[in-house]
Structure 1
Amino acid sequence: MSTALTGAAVAVPRLPRRGAAALVLCAALLLVLFPARTAMTATTAHASAADGPSVHVSKKEAGKGGTLTVTGRGWRPKTLLTLLICGQNMIGGTNACANGDGRAVTTDRNGAFRKSLPVAEPPKPCPCVVHVATVTGTPDAADAAFKVAGHPVAPLPKESTGGRLTVLAQPRLEGSSGLLTWFGAPPQRELTVTVGNLGSTPAKDPVFQVGTSHGVFAPEWEEQQWRGTVPAGKKAEVRLPVELAAGAHGDHLVSLKYGGKVLVEQPWGVGRPWGVTLFWVLLGVVVPTAVFRIGMAIVDRVRPRRTTTTGRSSTTGSSTTGRSTTRCTEDPGTPGESAALPWFTPDTAPSTTTSTERPTSKGSA
């Protein structure tokens, strides 16, 4: 009995130990499996990023007025994209696209998207593509072949310039703003880039497109021809002038395109033209003051003037001559005035004549 009790006493604690061992074993298996899955997910993401962005369309051909679904993968997460139908394989840039019927979409956190796109006829003949490109940040683009039913088809134009240029160094915006820019003159800079010719033919007098944009607006492109030749396998420094509109300020973006491909994008922060603000403040002070002065001068000229009397005439009778004489007496306050003394009044003033005769009584002889 004691042996049974001893065995029972020994057997009871063995069960929890086996359970604990089983739990430890399960935890070890989970730790081994989950890192493997994480590593597999990371490997898949790196492989997708290495493949680059891709675009797929639900239809290979559709007529004007129809709709197709565009999907994509491998893009940057939470990135704004534009979707366009372009002619001539978009070798002429967005000028060959139906820009008015384009759409915009934002990728999800995995860099994928799905968007419906109306079918429209581009301004250039086919072969056509569905062109997807980023709006901000590092430029990325991808195309998917598509045929617009009923739209004319023509051979692709030959490239006017040879060579295949690429940017080899970080671009620079050189120059500074002068005093006139502080008063609203157009800001000017010089875009300097080092390009290399990766093609087998030299690039002679290449034509670049320089674009400037502000905020989320699309760039305004301007063609500029660089005078010079970039031999095959060589590099050269290209300098192109850049100018903004008068009074421009804020954050701008300068882009350089060659052969329908954006080569560089360089930010440009332009200060506010405070001289223009100062001018309007001074104008708001000077103009009202000048108007007030002119008005006061007009009022001073048209108001009536006060007149003052400098003399008056009086007529007195002479007892000796019997004739009336007219004499002019001056007003008080005029020079030569004989005013009465202040301590005498006309009634109490002493007589100027004296008499020695006494009055006689009536009836005296």
Structure 2
Amino acid sequence: MIRLLVVDDSPLVRRLLGELFRAAGDFEVAVARDGVEALEALVAFKPDVITLDVQMPRLDGISCLDRIMVERPTPVVMVSSLTGEGAAETVEALSLGAVDVVQKPGGAMSLEIGTFGPGLVETVRAAAGARIRRSHRLAERVRGLSGAAGPRTRPPRPRHPPVAAKGAAGGGEGLVLVGCSTGGPPALDALLQPLPGDFPWPIVVAQHMPRAFTGALARRLDALCELDVVEVVRPTPLQPGCVYIGRGDADVIVTRRSSGLFALGAPADPAYRWHPSADRLVDSAREVLPAANLAGVLMTGMGNDGAAAMTRLYAEGGWTAAEAEETAVVWGMPGELVRAGGARVVAPLEALADALLAAVAS
């Protein structure tokens, strides 16, 4: 049985989610009304996984998550109704250690639980098996145990020597395609932060995430990286030194126009299960560029999105990399690529940026 702690200040939401997970048959459920009760249950109940609301009295979800990850790191899925400015808080939760985010229905949850519920159960079940890296925020855990205090610090943005692309025909036009899902935002941090601002190929990202949060994710990455990071909200020309985040709940594809390559959003194609679809992104790029001018990176995430298309890309002569099992929060997507024989490189998260740099420059 999976020990699940549901944390929400709404009695109705606690009841509905409790009934939902108990009916699934493989969950033992406890509930908490706010962050204070959640921290008490963290010790008394010892959950395997937690669903955590963002806005709560006494101790809000972000502050509670901060304490959880320092005191007893546990897989956490943020269940958020926030949009707009609040989306930045939810994305910040992912940087603090939450493995995924699910957006609450816009209407009454009691009316929408039938459509909202199955996806939430699948996400939480996958999160329960997520690998929380014991080194994550180790220094803060040590400070907490010793009673020392101090604010979190962010490392300075890196500076790197110029990189020249030699892999693409004519030394210029090439494209990097990235797919990730559960645990993806921190993985994107690790992949993109080491890359120099003059990285010679555009990077297009399909990160499974609700629409309300992909803009906030792009803004956060833009503040952390030398690369320019934007959300694809309209047809956008692809430029070196830039990262393009597909908008949530839709797909992102690559197309060629008279002036060059563009990324654009497309309505979610029901032929693909997850969105933005990494499979659809890679296949669209294969239609407009030779495989030798494409690099694919598949990182943490449940399911198999991206594995089939990147296997085809590798068979045609493209470069592909999969995150290794030892660092992936969920080794679903990259694991499927490895099992299909479609990964030229299998590397831990901290080595993927160097592998990509070497591939583009070789």
With the shorter chain as reference, the TM-score category is: under 0.3
| Higher helix proportion | 2
Larger Rg: 1
What is the TM-score normalised by the length of structure 2? 0.24
| Higher strand proportion | 1
What is the TM-score normalised by the length of structure 1? 0.23
